[in-house]
A and B are shown apart, each in its own frame.
Chain A
Amino acid sequence: MSVTKQDVEYVAVLARLELKEEEKEGMIADMNSILQYIEKLKELDTEDVDIVVNPYYIENKFRSDEVTESMPLSEVLNNAPETLEEYILVPKVIEG
């Protein structure tokens, strides 16, 4: 499987990354190099194998429905690049 410029541009949009033209070339080469190595996995027959998400089976961890203290507003806003009163401010977003 080979990655094309179109693939790289599509993936960059999904990842919200803006790549300059020169960067795209490098990215195509790097991705292909890694994907080439990853082809190795095709050597293994995994037809009847279950997937493993957590490294070992863990089940039924829950939290009870009890209210805990929230963060003070000042802490929420302190790290925000731009705020307006109690809100975090971002440039106007077109209704999606």
Chain B
Amino acid sequence: MEFETVIGLEVHAELSTNTKIYCGCTTEYGGKPNTHVCPVCLGLPGSLPMLNKKVVDYGIKAGLALNCRITKLSRMDRKNYFYPDCPKNYQITQDEFPLSRDGYIDIEISEGVIKRIGIERIHIEEDAGKLLHTNSGTLVDFNRAGVPLIEIVSKPDLSSPEEATLYLQKLKSILSSIEVSDCKMEEGSLRCDGNISIKPKGETKLGIRSEIKNMNSFKALEKALGYEFIRQEEVLNSGGKLSTETRRWDESTLKTYIMRSKEQANDYRYFPEGDQVTINISDEWIEAIRSTIPELTHEKLARFIKEFDISSYDAMVLTLSAPLADFFEATAKISMDAKSSANWLMGDISKLMNEALITAASLKFTPEDLSALIKLINSGTISNNIGKKILNEMFLTGKSPGKIVEEEGLTQNNDEGEILSAVIEAIKASSTSVEDYKNGKTRVVGFLVGLVMKATKGKSNPQMVNKLILQELNKL
């Protein structure tokens, strides 16, 4: 029996606000256990939650960036369950009226083939504390209790672990470019659970699904979902039955295992949070947030290809970081030479940045400077090799290329007369070269170019040197 996979992902991202969702405690990492808590996030009797406006702003921003419909009248709800990391034994989240619904992300599943993955809903909620299991018992630290999260639930539109990974990568890229979360899976600010079921090819009815947790990296996501498909397939092919389960991915054994359930019954008894009030999101509010959304990475990439006629590979590299993309764009516009701009940035400049461990945001020279350099080379004023030397100087000192050329007298010599004298001198000085050339050893040309360059301190126009050497040699 051939089966196909149906996957939906539930992603939680920590929002990068300064304070928690319902109180003013800091969200900063580190800090001794239980020192970033207050009566509200500790769940002391009599405490009341106070919704952080920035969390709502970020929730709306994420909704807009993910093409969702923003809910006009939204509210908070309680999700009731008992667990030691849950201070109130309920989580204040959103059930019936999440901040946004019905969005999508487009992923490129193969060269030029785009698939649209639906987003069911996005809502805001609070994170729980942290448990540390030791032999003396379980230690509870409430520093992270109350940190704001957004939960993004996709529609079950993903058909393979590869698609799931592409979706998550795209989601991460979008959320980071709108700066609502730093989205680091390794640090826990981006978490992903997957729901996966299989069905016979062509069948419309969905199969029994399992929820997979504890996938802590993109690789783990792909491996875990891949494993689970095979496991489910084996069960069904051997005539067995699947049941709705929550399973845990084990990175060491590369298998999924049934989790012991948190509570016998998962009846969360959602009901409206009476300590909070209606969230009325006006059109003005939405537009104000929309205006803060920068061009998203994939949008920029597509525009670069079109506007600057560069390859998709180049566009991809240049849009990997926002400062680099901005630098490229500015340089390309001023110099009117996108190809050279791309080459310099992707080549020599990237090498220098990597060695110095900086990003384009910290470059000492400006796009105007780089454009000037490109113009100098294109006009023949300096050679490409001199250009590289100048670039190094620009990188270290931030001086403009014009200034460097002036100070060090690096202007390329384009005077044919002068170069001709140097060429004639070089040929005279190298007696064997004429013989060698006549005997077909064309390598001597390079040797002679080297002599001329040395004599003229590298400033001669290389093409001209080459031309004149050949001219003279052929005369003899």
Contact = CB atoms under 8 A, between A and B. Distances in A.
A10 B265 CA distance: 8
Contacts of B39: 71
Interface in B231-268: 259-265, 267
B19 interface: yes
B343 to A, nearest CB: 43
A62 B272 contact: no
- Highest count of chain B CB atoms <10 Å: which of A57, A63, A92: A63
B139 A93 contact: no
Contacts of B56: 62
Contacts of B70: none
A62 to B, nearest CB: 4
Chain B, interface residues (CB within 8 Å), range: 35 or more
A90 B138 CA distance: 5
Given A14-B267, A71-B39, A96 B274 contact: no
Interface in A18-66: 51, 53-54, 57-66
B18 interface: yes
B26 interface: yes
B133 A63 contact: no
Interface string B371-409: 000000000000000000000000000000000000000
Contact of B277 (A60, A66, A85): A60
B169 interface: no
Contact of A88 (B32, B34, B259, B274): B34
Contacts of B133: 92-93, 95
Interface in B161-180: none
A79 to B, nearest CB: 8
B50 A77 contact: no
Contacts of A88: 34, 139-140, 142
A66 B23 CA distance: 9
Given A73-B35, A93-B131, A94-B260, A54 B19 contact: no
B42 A71 contact: yes
Interface residues of A, number: 39
Interface in B105-141: 131-133, 136-141
A65 B51 contact: no
Nearest to A16: B82
A70 B54 contact: no
A62 B53 CA distance: 5
A65 B277 contact: no
A77 B140 CA distance: 11
Contacts of A89: 136-140
Contacts of A77: 34
A13 B280 contact: no
B33 A87 contact: yes
A13 B131 CA distance: 23
A interface: dominant SS: loop
Contacts of A54: 274, 277-278
Contacts of A71: 37-39, 42
Contacts of A3: none
B262 A96 contact: yes
B153 to A, nearest CB: 21
B230 interface: no
B475 interface: no
A59 B277 contact: yes
B83 interface: yes
A53 B75 contact: yes
Contacts of A84: 136-137, 139
Contact of B32 (A13, A53, A60, A86): A86
Contact of A68 (B24, B35, B132, B276): B24
B249 to A, nearest CB: 13
Nearest to B279: A60
B54 to A, nearest CB: 4
B36 interface: yes
A90 B130 CA distance: 13
A92 B138 CA distance: 5
26 contacts: A14-B267, A14-B269, A59-B280, A60-B277, A60-B279, A61-B50, A63-B50, A63-B53, A65-B19, A65-B53, A66-B19, A66-B24, A67-B24, A67-B25, A68-B19, A70-B26, A70-B36, A71-B37, A71-B38, A84-B137, A86-B35, A87-B141, A89-B137, A89-B140, A93-B138, A96-B262
Given A86-B35, A87-B132, 20 more contacts: A10-B265, A14-B265, A54-B277, A59-B280, A62-B51, A65-B18, A65-B19, A65-B53, A67-B19, A67-B25, A68-B38, A69-B38, A70-B25, A71-B39, A86-B32, A86-B33, A87-B139, A87-B140, A91-B138, A92-B133
